[in-house]
Every structure is written in structure tokens, then in C-alpha cells.
Amino acid sequence: MSRASRSSRDVGQTKSRKSPSAGRDVPRKRRADSGAIPEGIGIETLHELVHCLESAGVNYWLGRGLFRQFTLHKNFGDRQGDIDFHVLREEHARLQSVVTDLTDKGYELISGPEHGHKVTIRKRGVKVEFVFLERDGDILWHQAGWPRRKRYDSPARAFGDRRVEMFGVSVRVPNEEYLPAVFGSGWRKNTKGSGGRLMP
């Protein structure tokens, strides 16, 4: 059989493996994303970042993927490629001081001037993004996505003083209306890249 024939036959079929005991095909288990953050290191990083942000008095909110995952399943999950914190644009200078302290603790600054909508750092393979919230009337919006940049809007009132206990640490998070506002009415499906609108 030609290589092309094999490829066309396999399209849309579920891969399987032979069970050594039963001698029959069984479905493969879904694997964690290869670039996903290991849970233990991710939780340690979350603890460290929350402590640093709160010690510096920065108004922050855990957001996006990890916040949605925890809201839905109360765990870290096996699909987190980064940890996202929202920070008000007007707190940029205070955040820069925190980032300087974190680089002294072994974090590497990996974002550049072209990434004006966020500040990204990394340590032990864990990427942390501080995503700025921009004001537009009674809306706070942020940018995400590459190369297809998207704008995500939330009511400003979604960013208050709410806290949740996550893995042994009290974390500031947005109010409940944040998730449907950012990811759309189907946010509970936990589909990566959902919500928002394309930017010019």
C-alpha cells in the first residue's frame, strides 16, 4: 500500500493500541499537552507570584485559562501552557518593580517592547504573563493571541476584591461575570482560543 493511501485511510480514525492481556484494540488515553506546566511546579509558581504581587501592593487578578480550569474542575489541569495575571495599565510602574525583584529570584524576562500588552517572565520552564487591562469607558479589555490578535472585553465591575482559595493560597480573581464575558456563552466547554474578537 502506498504512503498516500495509508494516510488517507487513517484520516478521522481513532488511534488504538493492542492490549497485551486481551489481544484487542483499546482507545488511547488523551495525553496532556506536551508543553503543559507540571502541576507541582505550577502550584509552587502560583504561590510565589501571589506572595510577590501582594507584598508589593499590586492590584492583580488571576485570569484566563487557569482561572477557568479551576472554576470548572477545582484543579490545575494538564493543559496549562502559562499562568495569566491581569494588572491595570496604570500599575505598570509598580509591576516593573515586582518583575525586577523576580529576576533576582531566577526569573527571566522574555517579552520585549513589541509585546506592549503584557509582560512575560519564565522560570523552570513555567511562563507567567502579566496581561494589562485597558480602560474603555465602563469596560476593561485585554489583548491575547498570536498571530491572530484578539480583544477580550469585561465589565469593569468584574474586577473587584473577590478571593478564592487555590491550592493552599488565597488568590484575587475576577467576579463570576468575567468568564462568560471573556470566553463567550460556551465558556464551560473550556475550548482554547474561544471568545474575543479579532483586532485590526
Q: Is residue 20 part of a domain?
A: no
Query: Does some domain include residue 17?
Result: no
CA angle 151, 157, 159 (to 5 degrees): 70
- pLDDT tens for the chain, 200 residues long, are 544 444 434 434 434 444 444 444 433 434 445 689 999 999 999 999 999 999 999 999 999 999 999 999 999 999 999 999 999 999 999 999 999 999 999 999 999 887 899 999 999 999 999 999 999 999 999 999 877 899 999 999 999 999 999 999 999 999 999 999 999 999 999 998 899 999 99
Instruction: List all residues 6 or more positions away from 98 whose beta carbon is below 8 Å from its beta carbon.
Output: 52, 53, 56, 58
Report CA dihedral (187, 139, 86, 121) to the nearest 10 degrees: 100
Q: Is residue 23 part of a domain?
A: no
Q: Are 79 and 32 in contact (CB under 8 A)?
A: yes
Residue 10 within any structural domain of the chain: no
Which pLDDT score is estimated for 193? 86
Which pLDDT belongs to residue 34?
61
Q: What local confidence, expressed as pLDDT, does residue 136 receive? A: 97
pLDDT of residue 16: 40
Supply the CATH number for residue 150's domain.
3.30.460.40
Report yes or no on 148 lying in a domain.
yes
* Domain limits for position 61: 37-198
Number of domains in the chain: 1
pLDDT of residue 169: 97
CA–CA separation, 82 vs 64, rounded Å? 10
Q: Is residue 7 part of a domain?
A: no
Residue 96: per-residue pLDDT: 95
The string of DSSP letters for the chain reads: --HHHHHHHHTTPPPEEE-TTT-SEEEPPPPPPTTPPPHHHHHHHHHHHHHHHHHTT--EEEEHHHHHHHHHHSS--S--S-EEEEEEGGGHHHHHHHHHHHHHTT-EE---TT-TTEEEEEETTEEEEEEEEEEETTEEEEEE-SSS-EEEEEEGGGSSS-EEEETTEEEE---TTHHHHHH-TTGGG--TT-S-EE--
Give the pLDDT of residue 125: 94
